[in-house]
Amino acid sequence: MVNLKINNIPVSVPEGTTILEAARIAHIEIPTLCYLKDVACVGSCRMCLVEATGARGLVAACVYPVSEGMEVKTNTEKCRKSRKLSLELLLSKHKKECLACERAGNCELQRLSTEYGCDPNFFTGEELNHPLDESAPYVVRDRDKCINCNRCVAACKKQSVGAIGPIGRGYGVHVGSAFEMSLMESVCVGCGQCIVACPVGALKERTTVDEVWDAIGDPAKKVVFFTAPSVRATLGEAFGLPVGTNVEGKMVAAIRRLGNVEVYNMDITADLTILEEANELIARIQNGGTMPMFTSCCPGWVKFVEQKYPEFIPNLSTCKSPQEMFGGLLKTYYCEKNGIDPKDLFVVSVIPCTAKKYECHRPEMNGEVNAAITTRELARMIKTAGITFNTLPDEQFDDPFATCSGGGTIFGATGGVMEAALRVAAKTLDGTFEVVDFPEVRGTTPIKEATYNVAGHEIRVAVASGLGNAAEILEGIKNGTRHYDFVEIMACPGGCVNGGGQPTLPDSYRNTLELKSLRAEALYASDRENTIRRSSESPVIETIYNEYFGTPNSEKAHEVLHTHYHEDKRI
C-alpha cells in the first residue's frame, strides 16, 4: 500500500494506482475528457493535470502513478488556468451548435466549459464546414464537433474492428476512416461503441424518429412497437432514475401515449429464437452438422464474421435475430390472422443497438421492420410528446404478444442467449432435466466456458462479449486450441445492456459504476420473478406454433424465421 495526501486528505492505495483513481477514493473528482475506464487512458486531453510533489510541472492524473509520501493538489490556480486554456483551445476547433446538438445538456465538453467559465470565442480557429458522413444507415459522423480525444478510436480498436483512427499530424490531425473513405465503405460493423464512448456530439445514431412520427400520424397506417429485452433496464437512466432500474411498466405506458399504437414484447421472439436455435443445435449434434454452432442474434457480430472471418459463416445459426423474427411474424402470421395488408402495417422496434438499424436494411430481411429506434431515440420521443415518464403508472404489454419466459428476458445480458438455449436444449434431450439456472455462463467476464453432460451428450459451450474477445475465440478454434459445440457472441462488451444505442451517461457514471452488471441484474431479477423460465413453456409460443409454424425448424418456420449470410469483402 502507498500512503499519500490529495488536497490534504490522507489516502492509502495499492502500489501502481494512478492519481486519478486515488482521488476518487478520497471523493475528489478530477476532470477528464480523453479518459474512459476500460476503454481509453492516454493522458492526451490534459484536462486532468494536477500538481504533485516530485514531479516537474503539472502531470496527467489518469496515467501518473502515486508514490509514498506524495502530496497532490488538484484545484490550484495553476491547475484551473491550465484546464481552462485547454478547453478554450478545444472550443476553437469545435462547432458550437449546442442548442441543436444531440448531446445538449449531456455533453462533457459543454459541462466543463460551463464549470470553468470558458469564453468559447477566446481563440479563433479555422472555419468549420466539413460535410457530415451520413453514408451509413446507423451512424452519423460530424468531424466539426470532434475534439480528437480518440475515445472512439480506442473503443473501435478494442472491438478489433479498426474502422476509424487518427489521420494526419499536428493542427490538421483528425479522426476518420482509412483513405478518408466513408463509414459505409469502411470495415465498420455498426456496433455503436464509438457513440457511447464519445464525450461530445461528434457521433450519433442515424435517426428514424421523423418516419415513426409520420406513421403515427397517418390514419392509413397501423403502427406497432416492440421493445428489446434490455431497453426496460436502461430507459430510466434517460429520465434520471438509478442505473439498473427496471421501468418495463412505465416504458409501455409511455409508448402507448405517443399515439394510436400497440406495444408488444420482443421477449416473445427471443423465446421463438431459442426454440428455433436450440432445435437447430440438437439437429447439428445428432446429424453431424457444421460445428461449433454460433449464435446469430447480434447483427454487429454477424457482420464481423462476414467481413473478417467468412470461413466461419457456415457455423452461424440460420436463425434471424429476435428483431427480424418479430418483423417477419407480424408481416405474415399477425397480418393474416387480423386481415391486415402488410403494406399498411408500420413496424417499429425499440433496440439497444445501432447495428440493428443496419440489419433492417439487409436485403435478406425483406424490409419487415420499417424503423428501428434506439433507447435514446425513444427517450427523445417521450420527452418531445411531453410525457412525464417518472409519474406514469405501470402498464402491461398488449396481447397477443405480452407473455414471455424469463429466458427471453435475459437475452439482453451476455450469456443470456446461451442460458436460455441450454434450458430448452437440455430439457429436449433429457425430459427429466429440470435445471434452469446455469450460473457458469453469467457475469461480465469477457470469455466464459463450461461443459454440461445431458442425456449422454457432452456439450461444450463458450460465451464472449466484445468483438475483441470474439476474435480471440475464433482464432483459438482455427488453431485447434479451443473446442466447443455452441458459442454465444455479442458484439458489445457486457451484451445488449451496454449496446451502442443505450443512454449516454456522464463520465462520472461510466468511470465509477459497473453499468453492465447493474443493468444485467435488472433482467436476471425479472427472470427470477417469472413463473415461466423456459422459452418452450411460453403459452404464446405454443399458440404461434400450433396456429402457424407447426414445429420448430419446419418448412414454414424456415421461410419466415431463418435467413442466410454471405461474405462481405472490405479493405
Is the preceding omega at residue 352 within 30 degrees of 0, hence cis?
A: no
Q: What CA–CA distances, in Å, run from 448 to 218, 326, 458?
A: 48, 29, 17
Whole-number Å distance between alpha carbons of 221 and 308: 40
Which candidate in 280, 306, 368, 488 is catalytic? 280
Does residue 356 carry a catalytic annotation?
A: yes
Whole-number Å distance between alpha carbons of 131 and 118: 27
Asked whether 94 and 109 are in contact (CB, 8 A), the reply is yes
Q: For residue 516, count other CB atoms closer than 10 A to its CB.
A: 20
DSSP lists the bridge partners of residue 497 as none
Asked whether 412 and 523 are in contact (CB, 8 A), the reply is yes
Which candidate in 320, 356, 357, 516 is catalytic? 356
DSSP class of residue 513?
S
Does residue 115 carry a catalytic annotation?
A: no
Residue 443 amino acid letter? G
Does residue 280 carry a catalytic annotation?
A: yes
Task: Return left, alpha or beta for 415; rule: phi > 0 is left, psi -120 to 50 is alpha, else beta.
Answer: left
Which candidate in 21, 237, 248, 277 is catalytic? 277
Does residue 317 carry a catalytic annotation?
A: yes
Nearest to 281 by CA among 416, 429, 456, 415: 429
Whole-number Å distance between alpha carbons of 329 and 327: 5
Does residue 364 carry a catalytic annotation?
A: yes
Does residue 405 carry a catalytic annotation?
A: no
Q: Which residue shows C-alpha cell 455503436?
A: 192
Which candidate in 71, 115, 336, 364 is catalytic? 364
Q: E strands within 115-168?
A: 139-141, 165-167
Which candidate in 359, 377, 419, 488 is catalytic? 359
DSSP class of residue 398?
P
Coil, helix or strand at residue 44 = coil
Which candidate in 101, 191, 198, 297 is catalytic? 297
Does residue 559 carry a catalytic annotation?
A: no
Which candidate in 86, 317, 349, 538 is catalytic? 317
Does residue 496 carry a catalytic annotation?
A: yes
Which candidate in 496, 516, 526, 536 is catalytic? 496
Q: What CA–CA distances, in Å, run from 393 to 228, 374, 390?
A: 20, 23, 9
- Give me the active site residues, please: 277, 280, 297, 317, 356, 359, 364, 496
